[in-house]
Amino acid sequence: MRELAAQGLDGAVRLVAPRMASDAELALFHTPAYVDFVQRRSVRGDGFLDGGDTPAFKGVFEAAGSVVGATLVAVEALMSGAAARAFVPIAGLHHAARAGAAGFCVFSDCGVAVESLRRDYGVRRIAYVDIDAHHGDGMFYAFEEDGDLVFADIHEDGRDLYPGTGARSESGRGAAVGTKLNLPLAPGADDAAFLSAWAEVEAHLARFPSDFILFQCGADSLAGDPITHLRFTEAAHAHAARRLCAIADAQGHGRVLGMGGGGYNRRNLARAWTAVVGAFLAAAPVSR
């Protein structure tokens, strides 16, 4: 928020309050047994929700449910036409699976958003684009056989970084083969490497047009992140945001929902996410 204000952008955005997601909404993506499990562990408030990455704490259910609720508020704003683009900094928890927590992610707001778009709005073909340093494994495997979830993910090679997945050969299963694009980059990859991978993302999105774009813009792919090894600058994030707006407009719907994702260097978070919001504001939407 301070960076947004420093760049004079705070007056150009409308802030919207989040809400808690309902159990039924969480169960659009997650198994009821897992939703129950988080609720129980949230009362007890100790230990881990997975093998040791994702801690349980008192109120974790409400905290994680509010992230999902915030993303659903953004979906509602875009689908009602109240907003042309939306950005939810806390969102983009792309490691959570349908039946389990992983990598600091309790509930998958991105997964619930996809299921809600389908059930509540009849939006079938949805694009999910992810430039967080980590592979979006929770989203990839949940929709691996779903040809209507168009997936494109630029990330640090899984041989060098958690979660270890996202090889180029992983392109979807069954009828969905080819709808998933995984682009692992070597440690140290910079903006030039990003831009060349990005051209492939654009070709992929052109091959599989969609009616809504989810954009997980993790800031941990910037140089200086303490737990990853990519070396992008915020110009990568701005470029992706700008191009996704242009693509969404060209596809006739204009809907881009940005989700903050990871990032463990706070200065980088401020830079990357403000660059995304700035690009959203600069890319004037087509009138709908």
In angstroms, rounded to a whole number, what is the distance separating the alpha carbons of residues 283 and 216?
18
Among 218, 254, 258, 278, binds Zn ion (CB under 5 A): 218
Q: Minimal distance in Å, beta carbon 225 to Zn ion?
A: 8
**Which tokens hold the place of 154?**
């630029």
- β-pair partners for 151: 128, 180
Look up tokens 């927590």; give the residue: 101
Grouping H, G, I as helix, E, B as strand and the rest as coil, residue 180 is: strand
CB 94 within 8 A of CB 42: no
Instruction: Tell me the site size for Zn ion, rule CB under 5 A.
Output: 6
In 15-59, which ranges are continuous DSSP H helix?
23-26, 32-44
Only one of the segments 113-121, 194-202, 219-227, 277-285 lies at the binding site for Zn ion (rule: CB under 5 A); that segment is 219-227
Determine the longest span between alpha carbons in the chain, in angstroms: 50
Looking at residue 143, its amino acid is: F
In angstroms, rounded to a whole number, what is the distance separating the alpha carbons of residues 185 and 154?
7
Only one of the segments 30-38, 151-159, 211-219, 270-278 lies at the binding site for Zn ion (rule: CB under 5 A); that segment is 211-219
Nearer to Zn ion, 133 or 283 (CB): 133
Q: Minimal distance in Å, beta carbon 168 to Zn ion?
A: 19
* Residues 253-282, mask of contacts with Zn ion (x by CB under 5 A): ---------x--------------------
Q: Minimal distance in Å, beta carbon 216 to Zn ion?
A: 9
Only one of the segments 52-60, 75-83, 160-168, 215-223 lies at the binding site for Zn ion (rule: CB under 5 A); that segment is 215-223
In angstroms, rounded to a whole number, what is the distance separating the alpha carbons of residues 108 and 91?
9
- Residues 126 to 145: which contact Zn ion by CB under 5 A? 132-134
Nearer to Zn ion, 134 or 204 (CB): 134
Q: Minimal distance in Å, beta carbon 68 to Zn ion?
A: 18
**Under the criterion CB under 5 A, does residue 146 sit at the interface with Zn ion?**
no
Nearer to Zn ion, 227 or 282 (CB): 227
Nearer to Zn ion, 251 or 265 (CB): 265
- Nearest residue relative to Zn ion (C-beta): 262
**Under the criterion CB under 5 A, does residue 89 sit at the interface with Zn ion?**
no
Q: Minimal distance in Å, beta carbon 103 to Zn ion?
A: 7
**Which tokens hold the place of 159?**
């041989």
**Under the criterion CB under 5 A, does residue 220 sit at the interface with Zn ion?**
yes
Look up tokens 């039924």; give the residue: 24
Rounded to 10 deg, the angle between the 266-282 and 234-250 helix axes is 30
Q: Minimal distance in Å, beta carbon 78 to Zn ion?
A: 24
Q: Is 266 exposed, middle or buried (0-12, 13-18, 19+ CB in 10 A)?
A: exposed
Q: Minimal distance in Å, beta carbon 162 to Zn ion?
A: 8
Render the burial of 232-250: b for 16+ CB within 10 Å, e for the rest.
Answer: bbbebbbbbbbbbbebbbe
Q: Minimal distance in Å, beta carbon 94 to Zn ion?
A: 8
Which residues in this chain contact Zn ion in the complex, by CB under 5 A? Answer: 132-134, 218, 220, 262
